[in-house]
């Protein structure tokens, strides 16, 4: 594979999939925007789904690695609080979106779309990426929220925590002129309260 061609395709696919979805985004537009020959997607990736999986992997792998890193930091001096767990879960998304907002708004919007309007394909792909993270966080969440069953914790994380973060990131008008740490702190305060309610 030619690295520059693959990177150009992934960059163009991120923007197109953020705007139109992985299942309905135009492969022709992706190849045109990438400045590559027609058929390049099929040559380098084989299928739309493989291209979509590569795009999601490029986004999700570093986010989930950062989540596990933050979890490790939060647990090194004792049991973490709900707020520390929420910060470890959402911090990577906000940090990434903050950095990408100016240079790659398509990627920031795609992160939001993953959480707010996932297709079956996206849901399955995200679930496979997120499973090790969920396994790592689960005992700490259960210990921090002993009066809330894990099924309800998982539901609140999906809809209250990542639903809120996804809506923020998917919004073209979202302002990222505040420092990422301030935005994370505000979100953590609100989301921790909703998770523990």
Residue 158 neighbours by CB distance under 10 Å: 11
Q: What is the pLDDT of residues 34-87, one digit of tens each?
A: 999 989 999 999 999 999 999 999 989 999 999 999 999 999 999 999 999 999
Q: What is the pLDDT of residues 131-174, one digit of tens each?
A: 999 999 999 999 999 999 999 999 999 889 998 988 888 777 76
Give CA–CA dist 178/165, Å, rounded.
15
pLDDT at 3 over 60: no
Q: What is the pLDDT of residues 106-123, one digit of tens each?
A: 677 788 878 887 788 888
**Dihedral angle, C-alpha 187, 78, 154, 180, nearest 10 °:** 20
**In the chain, what are the domain boundaries?**
60-196
pLDDT at 4 over 90: no
The per-residue pLDDT for 168 is 84
The secondary structure of 113-167, three-state, reads: HHHHCCCHHHHHHHHHHHHHHHHHHHHHHHHHCCCCCHHHHHHHHHHHHHHHHHH
Strand ranges (DSSP E) for the chain?
A: none
- Model-level pTM? 0.87
């Amino acid at each position: 594979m030619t690295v520059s061609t693959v990177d150009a395709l992934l960059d163009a696919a991120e923007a197109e999939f953020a705007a139109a979805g992985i299942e309905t985004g135009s492969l022709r537009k992706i190849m045109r925007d990438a400045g590559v020959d027609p058929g390049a997607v099929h040559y380098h990736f084989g299928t739309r789904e493989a291209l979509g999986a590569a795009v999601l992997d490029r986004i999700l792998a570093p986010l989930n690695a950062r989540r596990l890193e933050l979890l490790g930091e939060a647990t090194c001096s004792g049991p973490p609080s709900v707020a520390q767990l929420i910060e470890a879960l959402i911090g990577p998304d906000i940090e990434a979106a903050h950095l990408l907002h100016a240079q790659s708004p398509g990627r920031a919007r795609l992160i939001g779309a993953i959480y707010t309007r996932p297709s079956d394909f996206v849901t399955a792909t995200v679930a496979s990426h997120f499973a090790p993270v969920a396994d790592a966080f689960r005992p700490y969440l259960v210990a921090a929220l002993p009066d809330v069953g894990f099924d309800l914790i998982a539901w609140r994380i999906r809809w209250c925590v990542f639903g809120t973060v996804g809506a923020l990131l998917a919004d073209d008008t979202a302002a990222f002129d505040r420092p990422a740490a301030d935005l994370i702190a505000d979100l953590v305060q609100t989301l921790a309260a909703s998770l523990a309610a």
